[in-house]
A = this chain, B = another copy of it.
Amino acid sequence: MLSLDQIRGLSRQTPSRIVLLVIDGLGGLPGPSGKSELETAKSPNLDGLAARGICGMVDPVGRGITPGSAPGHLGLFGYDPARHIVGRGILEALGIDFDVRAGDVAVRGNFCTVDENGIVTDRRAGRISTEENARLCEKLRSIRLDGADVLVEPVKEHRFVLVFRGEGLTGGVSDTDPQQAGLAPVPARPDTHRGQKVADLANGFVEKAAQELAGSRPANMVLLRGFSQHPELPTFQELYRLNPAAIASYPMYRGLSKLAGMKVLETGATIRDEIDTLKQHFAEHDYFFVHVKKTDSSGEDGDFDAKVSVLEELDALLPRVLELEPDVIVVSGDHSTPAVLKAHSWHPVPVVLYSKWCRPDGVKEFSERACMSGGLGRFPAMEIMPLAMANALKLAKFGA
């Protein structure tokens, strides 16, 4: 397999268009009927695409590895998810549409309660209201530190995001959260000497936060976790000479696509809204990432039938994507979320690719079982990107 640097050298700008339709948590497991969610759903349009196109199974990270949303998507975007890590703090920031920038270090914060001796009595401060959280974040915003800007944003209940923005910052700093009540918060420590600056910033922030929150109850202290840095991925523009756009109704996915250099398009909450957005902007970009969330949420809820319904809803809308005649369309998922497991899982994910130049196989149905014998075989999700580029005739020959 070629490196991203090698692929960069082969990429050509052409007018052809690629659509990547990501059905979050697509893969499933058989329910009581013996069929998976995808096998149960009436999905004539996905099946038709499978019959005309070429199918396979992708491993988002590797056999047996259950991916979070970040590695699941990074793989689909062509990055090696084992090497490019999006840390917890960055992910939390992306999840509130925070404009994370190269060089930033982001941290997940909790408001907590400490007693008069500084011992943590409640790591979540009784799950204060989101409104109270916003009020306390206002106080924290007054904190000034030498060496970096301090940015604070509320998330939900007791959770907030802290971002340090400045020169020469690196992650690799230990949590201040002692992980259980009855202990005092721990000073942040750098894993290596390069992390000293951020550890100092963190300890300075905690000290001033304690002063700011001293009078407040129950939230009178903060705990910091998941210090992590913007992963500074090479963008789609640099790597593939694409002008990419993302259509996603959930902020975290918008954030992940921004990391890859995609322009995030305004869209609505439903699949229909997202496809309308695709239609509206179809002339303006040559790559579109379209994200369907509710398959994953219903899988996590353990709601087999709801997941089937979302798949059927999507299938009914698929012709509206196909009538745009993208040169390449790829439909897959970022990971499996079987309703019977109520969680993300390690199972590989069906994929179908259609282009004028694909080599059709014998698969007639878009499902886990049918795609197992597809012509694409079983492969790492990160190879979807070069495949899509090749089918769009956007990759030059490698070597003479």
Please report A residues at the B interface, Cβ cutoff 8 Å: 1-3, 6-7, 10, 29-30, 36, 57, 61-71, 81-82, 85-88, 91, 341, 343-347, 357, 359-362, 368-369, 372-373, 375-379, 383, 385-391, 395-400
Q: Which of B347, B386, B396 is the one whose CB lies under 8 Å from A63?
A: B386
Q: How far is the CB of A5 from chain B (nearest CB, A)?
A: 11
Q: Is the CB of A64 within 8 A of B397?
A: no
Least CB distance, A255 to chain B, in whole angstroms: 12
A368: chain B residues at CB < 8 Å are 359
B375:A64 contact, CB within 8 angstroms: no
Q: A57-B377, A377-B377, A400-B68 are in contact. Are A387 and B63 (CB under 8 A)?
A: yes
**A1 partner residues in chain B, CB cutoff 8 A:** 61-63, 82
* Pairwise interchain contact A398-B71, C-beta atoms closer than 8 A: yes
Cross-chain contact A87 with B344 (CB below 8 angstroms): no
* CB within 8 Å for A69 and B375 given contacts A1-B62, A383-B63, A390-B346: no
Assess the B29–A383 pair: CB atoms within 8 A.
Answer: no
Cβ-defined partner of A400 (8 Å) among B63, B70, B347, B376: B70
A64 interface neighbour in B57, B70, B359, B386, Cβ under 8 Å: B386
A66 touching B397 by the CB < 8 A rule?
yes
Which of B2, B65, B376 sits near A65, CB closer than 8 Å? B2
Residues of B contacting A66 in the complex (Cβ-Cβ under 8 angstroms): 390, 395-398
For A70, A375, A376, the residue with the greatest tally of chain B CB atoms inside 10 Å of its CB is A375
Quick one: copies of this chain in the complex? Answer: 2
- Measured CA separation A64–B379 after assembly (Å): 12
Question: Given the complex of chains A and B, what is the CA–CA distance between A369 and B359 in angstroms?
Answer: 9
A85 partner residues in chain B, CB cutoff 8 A: 399
In the bound complex, CA of A68 to CA of B70 (Å)? 35
Report yes or no: B29 in contact with A397, Cβ–Cβ below 8 A: no
Would B62 and A2 count as touching, CB distance under 8 A? yes
Whether A61 and B359, one on each chain, are in contact in the complex, defined by CB atoms closer than 8 angstroms, is: no
Question: Which chain B residues border A379 with CB–CB below 8 Å?
Answer: 63, 378
Question: What 5 A-B pairs have minimum CB-CB distances, sorted nearest first?
Answer: A64-B386, A377-B378, A68-B399, A64-B390, A64-B387
CA distance A71 to B36 in the complex (A): 38
Q: Which listed residue, B375, B376, B386, B396, touches A62 by the CB 8 Å rule?
A: B386
Can you list 25 residue pairs at the A/B interface with Cβ under 8 Å?
A1-B63, A1-B82, A2-B82, A10-B65, A29-B359, A30-B359, A30-B360, A63-B383, A63-B386, A64-B383, A64-B391, A65-B390, A68-B399, A71-B398, A71-B399, A81-B398, A81-B399, A86-B399, A91-B400, A361-B372, A362-B372, A372-B373, A372-B377, A373-B373, A378-B379
Report Cα–Cα, A57/B379, bound state, in Å: 13
> Roughly how many angstroms separate A389 CA and B391 CA in the complex, as a whole number?
34
Q: How far is the CB of A384 from chain B (nearest CB, A)?
A: 8
- Closest-CB distance, A219 to chain B (whole angstroms): 24
Picked from B30, B62, B386, B399, the residue with its CB within 8 Å of the CB of A70 is B399
| Interchain CB contact under 8 A, A383 and B30 | no
Known: A29-B359, A70-B400, A400-B86. A388 touches B64 (CB 8 A): yes
Question: A2–B71 Cα gap in the complex (Å)?
Answer: 12
Q: Which residue in chain B gives the minimum CB-CB distance to A87? A: B400
CA distance A391 to B338 in the complex (A): 13
Pick from A347, A361, A396 the residue with the most CB of B within 10 Å: A347
